[in-house]
Structure 1
Amino acid sequence: MSVELLSTLASLIIGSLCIAFLALYGFAWMAARKEKSEAITLKDQDNDIVFLFDDEKLVNATASAQSVLAAAADVGSDWSRLLSVTISKFPTLQKEIIELADRGTLIIESRDGSSVMKCEWRNGLARLTLLDRETEHSHIELDRHSLMAMEHELETLRATTENVPHLVWRELADGTISWANAAYIALADSMAQNDDIPSWPPTSLFDTSLLANVGAKESRRLTLKDQNHGTHWFEVFRFEMGGDFLFTANSADHTVKAEETLREFTQTLTKTFSHLTIGLAVFDRNRRLALFNPALTDLTALSVEFLISRPVLTTFLDRLRDSQMMPEPKDYKSWRQEMAALESAAEDGTYQEVWTLPGGMTYRISGRPHPDGAIAFLFEDISAEMSLTRRFRSEIETGQAVLDSLSEAIAVFNSEGMLMMANSAYTSLWGLEQMEGISETSIVEATRIWHSKCAPSPLWNDIREFVSRVGAREEWTGTTRLWDGRRLTCRFAPLPSGQTLVGFAPEARGSAVRLALRPQADSQFVEM
C-alpha cells in the first residue's frame, strides 16, 4: 500500500472522529440546556408559592411568589428581600439554608406552626416552596369589599411606616431584626462601610439589651457613633409584642444640645452668682433646690452638704426655722400656712418680706417666678440699711419735734413749690386739722389758704414768685393782718437746693384791734 493511500485513510479516520465528537458534544450541550431550562421552568399549580434561586439571585418565581416579594423591603439582593418578609415566621431559615446543597432537602417549620418552607436542591438551584398548613384543608372565601378594605388598610400602614421620620423596627427574641421601616434601613445603610453590600437583616444600630428593664411607656437614651457625622443621641422605646419586640427611636440631638447649653448656662450663672453678696436659692417646678450660690450659705448658716442634697422647699424652710434664721412663729400650724402662702405668692412674683431675726439681723426676702414653674428666692442682708433708716427716721422725728417746739409757724417748700414740712404752730395758725398729704400742697394752694385768713395784700403774689425764682435770692420780710385784727409778720428765707422757708409770727391775742369791716373784693389787691 502506497504512502499516499495511508495518508488519505488516516485523514478520513481523524475527520470522522472529530465529527463524531462534535456531534456527541452538541447532543450533550442541548440535553444540559434542556435540563436547565426545565429546572428553572415553574408551573403554577393551585397558586403554589415557589422561588428558584441561583445563589442569592432569583431566577424564577410563581405569580403568588412574586406577590410575596412585592411586599419585601428594597434592600440588597433578591435573597435579602425574601428574608425581609419571611424571617419573622422562619427565624432559622437563614442559618439552615447553608446546608441545603449537602442535605438536598430541608423542611423548615414556621414559629407558629401554621406553615412550612420546603427547600430542595435541584441542578445547582435552590427551590423554595412555601406551604400554608391552615389553608390546605380549609378554604376561606372573602368577599370583594372585605378584600379591598384589607388591602387599603395594608397600603395605609405601609405608607405610614415608610414615611414616618422616626426609626421603627422589630426584633426576634434572639435580637435578629425581622422588620424595619425605611428610615431605619436608610440610616443603617449610611453607616455601613463603602464596600459593604446592603443585605437583610440590616445592621443592629443599638444595643437593645439595655432596655430589658425599661417599661413600655419609658425610654432610654442611647448613643450612635457615626464616623462621618460624630455621635448621635436617640430616645429609644421598647414594646413587647408576643415573643417579639417593637422598638421606636426618636432623634434626641436637639434635646441633648439644649441640655448641654442649659448646663453651660447654669455653670456660667453659678460662677456669676458666686460673687454676689445676695443669697440665691432656685427651686425647680418640683420644689427641689436646683441652684444656690455661696452667699446663701453665709447668710443662712446652712451647710453646703445639706444644700447639695437638693432639699425640697419645705425641708429648706424647716431647717431655716430650726437654725433661727427666720422669724419665730407663734405656732407651727400658722407657720405652715404662712409658708404655703409664701410659695403661692412667689409663683405670682409678689412675695417680698422683711425678716427681723432674733440675733438683731434683718433680711429682705423676695420671691420671683421663673420659667417652667421654678421659683427663685433672694436673701439680702439689709441690717445696715435698716440701721441707717432708723437713724434717719430718728433724726427726722427729732427735727420735727424741734420745729414743733417753736412758736413761729414754719413751712418749707422745695424748688418745685411743693410743701415739704411744717410744724404744729403752722397747722394751728391756718386752721389745718392734720398734715396728711402734705407733699401734695403747692405754694399756690398754700397762698390761697393764707389769703382766705388775712386781709387783702400783694404779699402772696410776691411769695409765689420768690419760691419759684431760680438763682440767687435774699431773705426778706413782710407784714399783713389776720381777719381778727392781729398783725402777721411774714419771713421768707432761701434754703439750699432751691428750697424756701416761710415763717409766720402773729401778734399775741388782745394786743390788736379787730378789723371792723371785711372787704368784699379781695381780688383788687391780689389776683389768686
Structure 2
Amino acid sequence: MSLHGIGLILMAALTGTASVVLATMLVRWWDRRSGQVRPRLPQGLESSLKPMVLLFRDQVLVDATPPARALLDRFSAPEGDWTRLLQWIGPRFPDAIEALGRIDRLGRFESLGKTGSGSAALRLVAEGIDPGLLRITITDPQAEYAGIVVDSMSQQAMEEELDLLRRSLDQTPMLVWRQDAEERVTWANAAYLRKAEAQSAEPIGWPLPRLLDSPRPVPGAGTRTRRASLTQNGAVSWYDCHSHQVGDQTMMFALPADAAVRAERSLREFVQTLTKTFADLPIGLAIFDRQRQLQLFNPALIDLTNLPTGFLTARPTLFDLLDKLRELRMVPEPKDFRSWRQQMSNLESAAATGHHVEEWSLPGGQTYRVTGRPHPDGAVAFLFENITSEMSLTRKFRAEMSLGSSILDNIGEAVAVFAPGGQVAMTNQVYRNLWPAAADSLGGALACWQAHAEPGPGLEALRARLSGQDGSRDSGLIRGPGGQLLGWSVTRLPAGRQMVCFRLPDPATQPEAVDQHLLAAGAAT
C-alpha cells in the first residue's frame, strides 16, 4: 500500500475520533445547560429497575408490573387483589383510601406517604384513565433514576430477621396495633385482625376498626397502662392496654387480663364476705399494716370504744388510736403519761411477736379483753371484747364458791368429796385438821386413814364401801387419830362423786352403836 493510502486511512480515523469526542462534549454541554443529569447505572441494573404500576378495571386487576405483583403476593386476602392493595396502602397512605373512593370525580390523585424509619417517603399516583379503568403508580422520589446495589448476605439476614419479627407478632396472643395522631389504626398484627373480623359481620377494610379504648400516652411520661374490655358474642374479655409513643405514631399492646380480673373479683368477693362477717361480730376488730396504720375495722369497734367514724375512716396509726381512746377514757387509768406510753409500746411489740392478751379495767366499771395477734407481712390485729358480764359472773361464782367453802369450814364434821376417778375434789378445814397428812386421791386418803386410825371392822367396812367391794354399809365407827371415836358416813353425789363425813358420835343419841363398836374393838383385841 502506498503512503498516500496510509495517509487517507489515518486522516479518516482521526476525523471519526474527533467527531465522537465533539458529539460527546456537545451532549454533556446540553445536559448541563438543561439541568438534567442522568446518573450512570451499573451495567445490567437498568433493565432490572421496573416501576410499580397496577391497572384495575372496576377494582379487578387487569395488569401489573412484576414488582407490583410481588407486592400483592405478600398479603393474603380472599376478597381479591384490590383488598390486598388496600391492606398495603392503608398504613402508608391514610388519605388514599378515601380518595380512591372518589377517583371518578377527582380524576387524578397524588399522595406522599408517611416517612418510615430508615426509608424515604413513597409517592402514590392514582389516575382515572377511562370510566372504571384506574392506574396506580407507586414510586420512590429519591430513588428515581438511581439504582441501589445491596449486599446479598446483608439483605438475606435482614429478610430473615424481618420474617422472624413478623411471625412472632402474628403468633403472639396479645393484640398489637399502631395508631396515628387522629387515632386511626394504621397497622395491626394477626391477633388484632382475627378479633376485628370476629367483631364485624362484613369483611373489614382500611382503616381498621378500633376495638379497645386504649390510653393516650403523655409526652415524656413513658408507657401508660389502662384496663379495657371487649364484648364478643355476649362474652366479655379484659385486656391490660399499654401505649408507647413512637414519633407521631402510637404503638398499642393489649395483654389478656381475664385471669387477673377473675382473681381480683374473687378477692373482692372474699373481702366483702369477710366484711359482712366482721360486721356481725360482737367483738371489735382493728387491723393495722406493717407501718401500724389502720386498714380494716368493723362496726363493733365503734360501739365498744365510742371512736368517731370519721376518725377511723381517716386510717389513723395505732398510737393515734390509743391516744384517742385515752382521751375518751376507754383505757385503764395510767399513773402518768410516760408509763402509759411504755405500756402501749409493750402492747404493740408483744402483739407483733406473738399472741398477747390483756384485761383492761375501765374507769366506767367495764372490763375489756384486748387480744393482739400478728398477721402476715408485719401486720397486727387487735380484738376488743367486752367481758364485763363474764367478769361479773366469774366474781359471783367465786363469791358463791367462797361462801360454800366458808360454810363447809364452819360445820362440825370433817368432809371430803372424791371425784369418779378417785381424785380429791374438795375438803374442809375440819377434815384437814383431823387428818394432817391428807392426800389428793382416794388411795392416798385410805392409806392416811389406815396409818392414823386403829384397825377394826369399821375401818375395813369404810375401805370396802369406797373401793366398791361391799356397798351394804353406808356408815360406821372407827377410832381415829389420838384414839377418839369417829363416826363415818358415805353419801353418793351427782356425776359419780362420793362424799365422806367424819364426826364425833353422840352417846346420848347412839348409845347402842357406841357399845357395839366397843365390843367389836374388845373382841378384836
The two structures have a TM-score, normalised by structure 2, of 0.67
1: CA distance between counterparts of 2:316 and 2:61? 67
- 1:165-204 matches, cutoff 5 A: 165-192=173-200, 194=201, 196-204=202-210
Alignment check: 8 A CA contact 1:48 1:131 kept: no
Q: Counterpart in 1 of 2:422?
A: 417
Alignment check: 8 A CA contact 2:459 2:478 kept: no
Alignment check: 8 A CA contact 1:47 1:64 kept: no
- Does 95-104 or 245-254 show the bigger shift? 95-104
Amino acid at match of 2:125: C
Q: Counterpart in 2 of 1:221?
A: 227
Structure 1 residue 478: deviation in Å? 4.0
Aligned with 1:141 (options 136, 151, 154): 151
Alignment check: 8 A CA contact 2:215 2:241 kept: no
Inter-CA distance 215–107: structure 2 relative to 1 (3 Å threshold): closer
Q: Counterpart in 1 of 2:399?
A: 394
Amino acid at match of 2:196: A
Alignment check: 8 A CA contact 2:409 2:430 kept: yes
Alignment check: 8 A CA contact 1:415 1:468 kept: no
Identical aligned residues as a percent? 35
Deviation string for 1:357-383 (max 9, x for gaps)? Answer: 222211223456789987664432110
2: CA distance between counterparts of 1:155 and 1:464? 103
Q: Counterpart in 2 of 1:111?
A: 115
| 2:324 pairs with 1:319 | yes
- 1:310-459 matches, cutoff 5 A: 310-311=315-316, 313-328=318-333, 331=338, 333-335=341-343, 337-341=345-349, 344-345=352-353, 350-367=355-372, 377-404=382-409, 409-424=414-429, 426=431, 441-451=440-450
Amino acid at match of 2:151: E
Alignment check: 8 A CA contact 1:415 1:467 kept: no
Alignment check: 8 A CA contact 1:232 1:253 kept: yes
Inter-CA distance 76–444: structure 2 relative to 1 (3 Å threshold): farther
Inter-CA distance 187–481: structure 2 relative to 1 (3 Å threshold): same
- 1:429-508 matches, cutoff 5 A: 441-451=440-450, 466-467=465-466, 475-479=474-478, 490-504=488-502
Alignment check: 8 A CA contact 1:166 1:249 kept: yes
2: CA distance between counterparts of 1:425 and 1:207? 91
Alignment check: 8 A CA contact 1:288 1:312 kept: yes
Inter-CA distance 459–306: structure 2 relative to 1 (3 Å threshold): farther
Q: Counterpart in 2 of 1:520?
A: none
2: CA distance between counterparts of 1:272 and 1:237? 38
1: CA distance between counterparts of 2:62 and 2:346? 84
Structure 1 residue 188: deviation in Å? 1.9
Structure 1 residue 52: deviation in Å? 1.6
| 2:54 pairs with 1:52 | yes
**Number of matched residues?**
449
Inter-CA distance 485–231: structure 2 relative to 1 (3 Å threshold): same
Alignment check: 8 A CA contact 2:86 2:205 kept: no
Aligned with 1:207 (options 202, 210, 213): 213
Q: Counterpart in 2 of 1:127?
A: 136
Amino acid at match of 1:237: H
Deviation string for 1:96-143 (max 9, x for gaps)? Answer: 556766464635143246232343537423333353848957644253
Alignment check: 8 A CA contact 1:93 1:108 kept: no
Amino acid at match of 1:394: A
2: CA distance between counterparts of 1:364 and 1:156? 68
Inter-CA distance 475–459: structure 2 relative to 1 (3 Å threshold): closer
Structure 1 residue 69: deviation in Å? 4.9
Matched residue SS, 1:246 = strand
1: CA distance between counterparts of 2:220 and 2:426? 75
Structure 1 residue 488: deviation in Å? 6.2
Deviation string for 1:271-299 (max 9, x for gaps)? Answer: 56555433344567887656544433221
Deviation string for 1:229-287 (max 9, x for gaps)? Answer: 16554332222334332222244456556655665666566556555433344567887
Structure 1 residue 466: deviation in Å? 4.3
- Does 360-369 or 484-493 show the bigger shift? 484-493
Matched residue SS, 2:398 = helix
Amino acid at match of 1:177: V
Amino acid at match of 2:187: W
1: CA distance between counterparts of 2:504 and 2:141? 125
2: CA distance between counterparts of 1:373 and 1:70? 63
Matched residue SS, 2:332 = coil
Matched residue SS, 1:479 = strand
Inter-CA distance 442–238: structure 2 relative to 1 (3 Å threshold): farther
| 2:244 pairs with 1:239 | yes
Kindly report the root-mean-square deviation, in angstroms, between the aligned alpha carbons of the 2 structures: 4.6
* Unaligned ranges ≥5, structure 2: 1-44, 506-525
Larger radius of gyration: 2
Q: Counterpart in 2 of 1:39?
A: none
1: CA distance between counterparts of 2:473 and 2:388? 43
Deviation string for 1:146-186 (max 9, x for gaps)? Answer: 834x5554444334332333322222232122222222222
Matched residue SS, 2:140 = strand
Deviation string for 1:48-98 (max 9, x for gaps)? Answer: 572525265555555555555565575965455445456555444445556
Structure 1 residue 449: deviation in Å? 4.7
2: CA distance between counterparts of 1:295 and 1:360? 19
Inter-CA distance 246–93: structure 2 relative to 1 (3 Å threshold): same
Matched residue SS, 1:208 = coil
Deviation string for 1:454-485 (max 9, x for gaps)? Answer: 56678777656645769x99842442555x76
